Amino acid sequence: MDDLSTNFDDKPYLLDLYRKMETRMEKDRRTVISWGEPKEKGVSVKVGGVYAYVPFNLMPWSYRIVQWWNHVLPHMTHIKWFGRVIDVDYSAPMIKMDARQTNELLPHFTEGEGYNGVVVRTQKYAVTIDFGLHFHWKTGPVLHEIQNIDLIQIGSRLLPGQVLCPKFLGLDADENRVFSMRHSNMEERVEEQRELREDEVPIRLVRDESGRRMYLVKDEIAVALIAEKALYKEFKEKVKRAINRLQEGDVIKGRLYQTPNGKLRGIWTEWVPREKPIPDPAIEMAYTIGKRIENYDDLIRLDSLKNSESD
């Protein structure tokens, strides 16, 4: 392989290090890994004084979205990681590593205790957290989604890579783990969710820092307000136009329901005019959604649909 040494003319010591890595590969010896930056097809690492890379499919575990490694890797550097050299290419030059781990420890959660987790994904109504951080990654990834109803109102917008410490509340009726940053126990969470679903609540239209429309209950719980045909039947388009007419700060009354995947959605039941500094009799009336639709016959039929949904 001396004929390939021209690749190492500027740094001849690297050739010796590459040969040592090849010896480790032949003896199947484990090597300490220092994590670097994610690249297009894997993660750069440093082993034995030289740079190498680990393909995503040979990382300690797999994520269905490889970009999640961008958020997790900065929280893995305090752990000593090992890998095996599986290829030494003198012509590239390049060293490939296999960093897959055997995670035999099962995560155990104690009700009422908080657990640190890395936010790997943020959505409009939920965040996904990897609690593997709490267990020093000895369990591999421990992913859970937390709904907005279980998140406190945080001053700045949640971003991937942040660390949260929600409480474990226990198991729900389907034996799924439940975490929350807003409640001290499962009973309080269940009671609030029951109140939100059974009572008529105010829903306020606000805009976030990017100007996106958001619908909030109690100024902190985000819900979806969608003109769904399943709810409004032939009134779908009229309700959609009424929703689009809402302006920032407007408040409507509605009822909430939870979709099968845990999302909260609102059903518009009554229009509530927003307050203005100067009293105006024209806006002091409580307009129903029927007034927004501008057809009294439609209102009657819509109310009957609403009542049938609640039954």
Is 108 part of a structural domain of the chain? Answer: no
Q: What is the DSSP letter of 262?
A: S
Q: Are residues 221 and 280 in the same domain?
A: yes
From the CB of residue 167, how many other CB atoms can be counted at a distance below 10 Å?
22
Is 147 part of a structural domain of the chain? Answer: yes
Is 111 part of a structural domain of the chain? Answer: no
Indicate whether 300 pLDDT > 80.
no
Q: Are residues 213 and 178 in the same domain?
A: no
Percentages helix, strand, coil for the chain (3-state, rounded to 5) are: 30, 30, 40
Per the structure, the complete domain to which residue 279 belongs is given by: 199-310
Q: Are residues 305 and 203 in the same domain?
A: yes
Q: Are residues 243 and 296 in the same domain?
A: yes
Mean pLDDT within 74-84 = 93
Indicate whether 232 pLDDT > 90.
no
Supply angle C-alpha 159, 162, 173, rounded to 5.
90
Tokens of 209: 């820092």
Q: Are residues 20 and 89 in the same domain?
A: yes
Q: What is the DSSP letter of 282?
A: G
Give the pLDDT score at 44.
Answer: 95
Is 107 part of a structural domain of the chain? Answer: no
Q: Are residues 269 and 173 in the same domain?
A: no
Tokens of 12: 């001849």
Indicate whether 166 pLDDT > 50.
yes
Domain count, the chain: 3
Give the pLDDT score at 193.
Answer: 67
Q: How confident is the model at residue 306 (pLDDT cuts 50, 70, 90)?
A: low
Q: Are residues 145 and 60 in the same domain?
A: no
Q: What are φ and ψ of residue 158, in 5° steps?
A: -65, 140
Mean pLDDT within 145-151 = 75
Give the pLDDT score at 258.
Answer: 72
Most confident of 8-22, 110-124, 254-268: 110-124
Report which of residues 163 and 304 the model is more confident about: 163
Give the pLDDT score at 161.
Answer: 94
Q: What are φ and ψ of residue 137, in 5° steps?
A: 65, 15
Domain boundary among 187, 222, 241: 187
Pick from 50-59, 92-101, 250-259, 282-291: least confident: 282-291
- Tokens 């890994």, located at residue: 33
CATH value at residue 33: 2.40.50
Report which of residues 252 and 132 the model is more confident about: 132
Q: How confident is the model at residue 181 (pLDDT cuts 50, 70, 90)?
A: confident
Q: Are residues 8 and 83 in the same domain?
A: yes
Is 109 part of a structural domain of the chain? Answer: no
Q: How many residues does the chain have?
A: 311
Report which of residues 133 and 240 the model is more confident about: 133
Domain boundary among 153, 187, 221: 187
Give the pLDDT score at 289.
Answer: 54
Closest CA to 112 of 167, 75, 174: 167
Is 137 part of a structural domain of the chain? Answer: yes
Q: Are residues 183 and 205 in the same domain?
A: no
Query: Per the confidence metrics, is the pTM higher than 0.75?
Result: no
Give the pLDDT score at 51.
Answer: 93
Q: What are φ and ψ of residue 18, in 5° steps?
A: -65, -40
**Using one digit for the tens of pLDDT, what is the confidence trace for 247-270?**
898 988 888 877 766 667 888 876
Distance CA 266, CA 256 (A): 4
Pick from 44-48, 182-186, 212-216, 284-288: least confident: 284-288
Distance CA 127, CA 134 (A): 17
Is 276 part of a structural domain of the chain? Answer: yes
User: 129 with 120: CB under 8 angstroms?
Assistant: yes
Indicate whether 200 pLDDT > 80.
yes
Q: Are residues 224 and 295 in the same domain?
A: yes
Give the pLDDT score at 129.
Answer: 96
Give the pLDDT score at 287.
Answer: 46
Q: Are residues 45 and 146 in the same domain?
A: no
Is 94 part of a structural domain of the chain? Answer: yes
Pick from 78-87, 196-205, 275-284: least confident: 275-284
Q: How many CA atoms lie within 13 A of 310 on its CB side?
A: 16
Q: Are residues 205 and 288 in the same domain?
A: yes
Closest CA to 253 of 274, 235, 238: 274
